[in-house]
Structure 1
Amino acid sequence: MFKYFSVFLLLASTTLVQAQSFNKEIEEPKQDSLNKRKLLKSLGNGYLPSKYFDADLRYLIKYNQYEGVRTGIGIVTNKAFSEKYRLNSYGVYGFRDHRFKYSLGGGIRLAEQTNTWLNLTYTDDLQETGSTKFLTDKRFFQFFEPRLLNISLFHKHITKSIALEHEINYKWLAETEFTTSKIEPTYAYGFNVNGNSYQNFDITSAKIALQWSPFNTLTTTENNKETTNETYPKFSFQYTKSFKNVLGGDFNFSKLDFRTLCYIGDKKNAFSEATIVFGLALGDLPLTHLYHAYPNNINKEKILQRFSVAGLNSFETMFFNEFFSDRFTTLQFKHFLKPFNISKSYQPQLVLITRYAIGDMKFPERHENITFSSLEKGYTESGFELNKLLFGFGLSFTYRYGAYHLPSIDDNVAFKFTFNITL
């Protein structure tokens, strides 16, 4: 009896081992596929993951007209390190300005359900003059940032900040921030207020930002976790208030910013994209905190000398530092035609584009040693892109017309290449 039972156990064990081996052969490729997909997703978001820390690839290598080659590395902790605490820092070096820049930051989660975090950051770096960032913008990563190549107008800043981010619900995000900054333009500039000319200045400010996604929905996963399905349109609001004589602040001013992004149609076929941006600044604002309209045209004479890379949401025929405003509105409209189905792996896409900007500035004479115009007459450009022609590269053609049409035809034309790639 024992002999037969032993034979039965042996056969059962053999069958079980074979079944486990067979299942393992199936599971291993599945696991490899999942790991590969996870890695590609991380790389697409700009992270190279490791056990406790992820390398932030945004700082790996860049180029601009002031720093030349800018290279470095960023480090962020992941959930394996801690789900309640996080650290994020970076260090970079510019080979043209021979200067090291860095940021040190960290946060503590105050409430898990609303994903509420309290963050502290110290930053010594550069920022493009006239640029505006919304606090609620999610992390944005591009393998290649085309507009950055041609930017020349930066200001140095040493900024200390404390911020609170909070998810009110799956449709509303909120963030507040209090900062003190020491600002030093890298170009010859003076801001004249009441007869006093400031070459360097301190800004003490508070911001509150909201993002509303009215059509977001919730999905419950198998693990009973709720995930948000991101939809459009999205509406972003931000209010900034600067305080004079608070922690050394030099100026009083207020800024109100708004942006909406809409998609109409099916992204797999033909669809349209519209972006509206509005900004209003009141009070004593230096040029560093005013608005440009995201220009992306190099100040050179010939079309081919200006041949560079088209941006995602920039005015391709507008020259850098040509316009600044303390109130402005831009409208950008793109229509993506259905991709040309030449083959499964080769599907170029034609995009029709129109952009419009209007703005103005009170007291332009306050800004010394720099020359610029306003957008009071309205700026218009239109053109097209033919994307994904070869290895993610394509071509772009844009023409400037209307009130700011220039006498020379060549100066109204922007011919560039595009770069679009997704993982």
Structure 2
Amino acid sequence: MLKHLFVVLLLSFATYNYAQKPPVLEKDSSQQARDSIKKINFVKNIGNGFLPISFFNLDLRYLIKFNQYEGFRTGLGGETNEHFSERYRLNGYLVYGFRDKALKYKIGGGFRVSEASNTWINLSYVDDLQETGSSKFLTDKRFFSFFEPRLLNIDLFHRHITKSIGIQHKVSNHLLSETQFSVSKITPTYNYNYMAGGQTYKTFDISSAKISLQWSPFSHFIIVDDKVKETKDGYPKFTFQVTQSYKSIFGSNFNFSKLDFRTIQQFTHKNTDVTKITLVAGIAGGDTPLTHLYHAYPNNINKQTIMNRFSVAGLNSFETMYFNEFFSDKFSTLQLKHSFKPFNISERFQPQLVLISRHAIGEMKSINNHSGIDFNTLEKLYSESGLEINKLFFGFGLSFAYRYGGYHLPKPEDNMAFKFTFNISL
């Protein structure tokens, strides 16, 4: 618990002061305009997790993190920017986990084949950890947070050595696509065996192809300096991804297919209240090991009392669902979040009330194929509701959530989650 707070405080205080600095007016208006543009670009890069240094952008994601398997994880990473080349790019990182005493790294790069459609061919070699049951969309915009709340408590990782080649292509301003073919060697860091075709596997070789589409039909764009700029982030947004693993290609062990879907709808009311609805669904068929199935974004520590479980609430996670409690080969989640207009108590103190309701349902057809780890399934409807009061002090707030429905637990306190929240804006 103290380690969690140390990480949060270290990162938040380092960034909060910068985020709150008011702009300084310059004497000359033209110089002021140039400085203003520089500041906007600098803050935009910082907000995306980059610190520009000449032709190289230092990636702030790799400086320091903490999780239950690696302990503190620290290193350096980044990518070249347009000052290096507008046609070629290089990227990578090198990090070290102090608890598992292991190095992880990535070496990658790409080259652009069409400027008009922003088409890039990317290659990478990765030797790192990934959370078991996590599923990411290739087309997701880079998401950066000065710390990642769920990461603090995750302990179920698998190591993967992955070689990949991909094509990133803009079909239109409203439709982005990315295709990737990868070959991975997967080694769970926990006791786990997967049984398929009469064989038992402790490690997995997987060759797979992914196609991902992100459709934003209601966003608005304009052309500024021959570049497309988004002027309105329109809703709803839709993201689709298809994954196919091929047995016997480059030594792959399994045939399986996955289909993932997400839609986000957001309403901004006349009084500036915001309602956000997020629906996520996924289905996997064939011989699919646990590493490539689905959890439902849990974020609750397996400890006895509420205060022992006190940590940091995530942005889109189930705060009362315990880590490694549920896994599914078919699932869907619905999250409803209503953010009220901030209370204008003073210029610097404007807390905000947010009401939240989350629901999940799923199933697991091949549960007997997984051994060495115990988990439940989600055939009944899982529900939790709660509230957040954000930005009480240095970006910190508080949240409370209560678990009810088909997976309500006998002890009332086991259904409760009381945590920090952390929000800052650059």
Shorter-chain TM-score bucket reads over 0.9
In the superposition, relative to structure 1, how do residues 395 and 108 fare at CA in structure 2: closer, same or farther (>3 Å)?
Answer: same
Name the structure 2 match of 1:302: 305
- Give the one of 55, 67, 90 matched to 2:70: 67
Deviations 1:135-189 (A, max 9, x none): 0001110011110000000000000000001000011001100000000000000
Name the structure 1 match of 2:229: 227
Name the structure 2 match of 1:92: 95
For 1:248, give the aligned amino acid. Answer: G
How far is the alpha carbon of 1:194 from its aligned partner? 2.8
How far is the alpha carbon of 1:267 from its aligned partner? 9.5
Name the structure 1 match of 2:46: 43
For 1:88, give the aligned amino acid. Answer: N
- Give the one of 80, 85, 107 matched to 1:82: 85
- Give the one of 270, 275, 283 matched to 2:273: 270
Name the structure 1 match of 2:246: 243
For 1:337, give the aligned amino acid. Answer: F
Name the structure 1 match of 2:425: 422
Name the structure 1 match of 2:11: none
Name the structure 2 match of 1:336: 339
- Give the one of 183, 194, 198 matched to 2:186: 183
- The alignment partner of 1:306 has SS state of coil
Q: Which runs of 5+ in 2 are unaligned?
A: 1-25
How far is the alpha carbon of 1:201 from its aligned partner? 1.1
Name the structure 2 match of 1:193: 196
- The alignment partner of 1:144 has SS state of coil
Tell me how far apart the structure 2 counterparts of residues 308 and 122 of structure 1 sit (CA, whole Å): 34
Name the structure 1 match of 2:16: none
Deviations 1:346-371 (A, max 9, x none): 21100000000000001201101111
User: TM-score normalised to the size of structure 1?
Assistant: 0.93
- The alignment partner of 1:304 has SS state of coil
Name the structure 1 match of 2:372: 369
Q: Indicate if the aligned counterparts of 1:242 and 1:253 stay in contact, CA closer than 8 A.
A: yes
For 1:37, give the aligned amino acid. Answer: I
Runs of 4+ in 1 over 6 A off after TM superposition: none
1:397-408 alignment, distance < 5 Å: 397-408=400-411
Name the structure 2 match of 1:8: none
Farther off after superposition, 268-277 or 59-68: 268-277
Matched positions, count: 400
State which structure, 1 or 2, has the greater radius of gyration over its C-alpha atoms: 1
Name the structure 1 match of 2:132: 129
2:395 paired with 1:392: yes
For 1:415, give the aligned amino acid. Answer: F
Name the structure 2 match of 1:3: none
Q: Percent identity?
A: 62
2:141 paired with 1:138: yes
How far is the alpha carbon of 1:407 from its aligned partner? 0.4
Name the structure 1 match of 2:329: 326
2:287 paired with 1:284: yes
Deviations 1:251-274 (A, max 9, x none): 000000000111111598201001
Tell me how far apart the structure 1 counterparts of residues 78 and 255 of structure 2 sit (CA, whole Å): 36
How far is the alpha carbon of 1:225 from its aligned partner? 3.7
- Give the one of 22, 38, 55 matched to 1:52: 55
How far is the alpha carbon of 1:24 from its aligned partner? 7.7
- Give the one of 353, 358, 382 matched to 1:355: 358
Q: Which runs of 5+ in 1 are unaligned?
A: 1-22
Q: Indicate if the aligned counterparts of 1:269 and 1:339 stay in contact, CA closer than 8 A.
A: no
For 2:228, give the aligned amino acid. Answer: E
For 1:328, give the aligned amino acid. Answer: F
How far is the alpha carbon of 1:224 from its aligned partner? 4.7
